[in-house]
Structure 1
Amino acid sequence: MTGTATAEANAPRVSVDVVVDLPAWRKAVKGPVALCERAVHAALEDGLADSPLAGRLRPDRGLEVCVALEDDASVRDLNRDFRGQDKPTNVLAFAALEDGDGHALPPQAEPWDDGDDEPEMLGDVIVALETTREEATRDGKTLADHLTHLVVHGVLHLLGHDHQDDAEAEVMERLETRILAGLGIADPHAPARDPGIGDNERPDITK
């Protein structure tokens, strides 16, 4: 068995729940549910092994992730109520369990013999349509590609990856670039073509 086959065999079962309450998302992106599911699976397959949660999740249980495609108003409310930022943003990630600093913690382990084979809830990723669409237009990307990037970014946060300092940001950016390349999407962190944007300016992505 090859290394890739072994990794696939050991990968956790993943259940993805994509909620599209905003009809405009279905008009803006073809097949948003399938797109988000693909992004979640790719992020977990490549991002779990080196994440802070690696080895801390129960091997006998799968994982569950919820992705909600919302509008700016809904995301602004969440950002204000839970992050203390009264403004819309492109993506928010809420781990099922977080410490006081907002860092992801592993789900609470139930007794090993409880017989419960339901998946562990990893958390939620919420994406705002208007902000995401404006960024995609500004940066010359398709909305589908930018949505995929934001979902991958959010799932990596659920796994405990972060970008609080330059070292963390560099690791996370490399990981995102690798995952997206596997999905056929260009490096979102490559220097901008617009000479008005600094080469070292990172995309405005938040938790």
Structure 2
Amino acid sequence: MNMLVDTVIEDERWSAFGLEALAERAAQATLAGLGLAEAGFQIVVMGCDDARIATLNADFRGKPRPTNVLSWPSEERGPEFVGEAPELPEAGTAEDPEELGDLALAYETCMAEAAEQEKSAEAHVTHLIVHGILHLLGYDHVEDDDAALMEGHEVRILASMGISDPY
């Protein structure tokens, strides 16, 4: 069976957490929620620690501190106008899937946020993966209209997975 998500574990706590299965389930729900066929896409999800994500955040965003999730779309997919949905990519084939991009998750930050927000770690990390995949697909939350669109998708996709509104 072809997997939608290629999970890279840099911090073994993610293996014990079950990141591989959780990322696959979140990715399937996200693509299904947007009407995309999972068989034709590939996403890389890396589970790392705060030190590694702080380095990545500094290198790619000029912010030398840990964050919960980072995303690197394989190409720019943002919409032309604020509040508009991005044009979704065409699926590849199971043998040659369309690469959507890469996500990185920081263990300590994700677990601390889940505890602070009194959510299960599984629900919080699932939300961050859905959020990250939407970024890979061209969604953003800088402008209010874009944020409303993106958050609406997140809430709906998470509800389809039995996870309550994170906002």
On whether the aligned pair clears a TM of 0.5, the verdict is: yes
Structure 1 gaps of 5+ residues are 1-12, 50-58, 108-114, 190-207
Rg larger in 1 or in 2? 1
Alignment partner, residue 9 of structure 1:
none
> Helix, strand or coil: the match of 2:140?
coil
> Cα gap change, 1:154/1:48 in structure 2, threshold over 3 Å: closer, same or farther?
farther
Q: Residue deviations 1:132-187, cap 9 Å, x none?
A: 11100000011111110000000000110111111111111111000001111110
**Alignment: residue pair count:** 158
Does structure 1 residue 44 correspond to structure 2 residue 64? no
Find 2:107's aligned residue among 129, 135, 152.
Answer: 129
Deviation at 1:118, TM superposition (A): 1.0
Does structure 1 residue 158 correspond to structure 2 residue 112? no
Question: Which whole-Å CA distance do the structure 2 matches of 1:133 and 1:160 have between them?
Answer: 26
Instruction: State whether residues 127 and 154 of structure 2, in contact with CA within 8 Å, keep that contact through their aligned partners in structure 1.
Output: yes
Instruction: State whether residues 89 and 128 of structure 1, in contact with CA within 8 Å, keep that contact through their aligned partners in structure 2.
Output: yes
Does structure 1 residue 34 correspond to structure 2 residue 21? yes
Question: Which whole-Å CA distance do the structure 1 matches of 2:74 and 2:45 have between them?
Answer: 13
Question: Which whole-Å CA distance do the structure 2 matches of 1:105 and 1:129 have between them?
Answer: 32
> Cα gap change, 1:76/1:48 in structure 2, threshold over 3 Å: closer, same or farther?
farther
- Matching residue's letter, 1:185: I
Find 1:142's aligned residue among 115, 120, 123.
Answer: 120
For residues 152-191 of structure 1, the aligned pairs below 5 Å read 152-189=130-167
Find 1:22's aligned residue among 5, 11, 15.
Answer: 11
Q: Structure 1 residue runs of 4+, over 3 Å off? A: 104-107
Question: Which whole-Å CA distance do the structure 1 matches of 2:94 and 2:24 have between them?
Answer: 24
RMSD: 2.9
- Matching residue's letter, 2:21: A
Instruction: State whether residues 4 and 27 of structure 2, in contact with CA within 8 Å, keep that contact through their aligned partners in structure 1.
Output: no
> Helix, strand or coil: the match of 2:4?
strand
- TM normalised by structure 1 equals 0.68
Alignment partner, residue 95 of structure 1:
73
> Helix, strand or coil: the match of 1:163?
coil
Instruction: State whether residues 14 and 63 of structure 1, in contact with CA within 8 Å, keep that contact through their aligned partners in structure 2.
Output: no
Alignment identity in percent? Answer: 44
Deviation at 1:45, TM superposition (A): 1.4
- TM normalised by structure 2 equals 0.83
- Matching residue's letter, 2:23: C
Deviation at 1:83, TM superposition (A): 1.0
Instruction: State whether residues 97 and 106 of structure 1, in contact with CA within 8 Å, keep that contact through their aligned partners in structure 2.
Output: no
Instruction: State whether residues 162 and 169 of structure 1, in contact with CA within 8 Å, keep that contact through their aligned partners in structure 2.
Output: yes
Deviation at 1:21, TM superposition (A): 2.1
Deviation at 1:106, TM superposition (A): 7.8
